[in-house]
Amino acid sequence: MASEKQIAQCLVGLIGTVRRPEQFPALTREASELVAADPFAFALAVSLQRGISAEVVWTIPSDLRRALGHLDPARIAKMPLA
């Protein structure tokens, strides 16, 4: 059985291999490219996956970036809730 360290090393070795936008079936090519290239966009979409179709979930970060004009987690954290 593989140890946690071996599993982590294997996962780190995969970095860069799962970046093709086709692996993220969003509603637009732009949205697919965003989650493939931006780790925050990817994490945001994954955290929102709760019974919503993959196409919609992978599109949310792109929609949010369009609405805010950015997708900077530090700036988002400082924004008022309203």
Of residues 22 and 28, more confidently modeled: 28
pLDDT of residue 24: 82
Residues 4-29, mean pLDDT to the nearest whole number: 77
In the prediction, which pLDDT does 18 show? 62
SS3 string, the chain, reads CCCHHHHHHHHHHCCCCCCCHHHCCCCCHHHHHHHHHCHHHHHHHHHHCCCCCHHHHHHHHHHHHHHHCCCCHHHHHHCCCC
Give the amino acid at 41.
A
pLDDT of the residue at 11: 75
Instruction: Kindly report the pTM of this predicted structure.
Output: 0.70
pLDDT tens, residue by residue, 36-68: 888 899 889 888 888 888 889 999 999 999 999
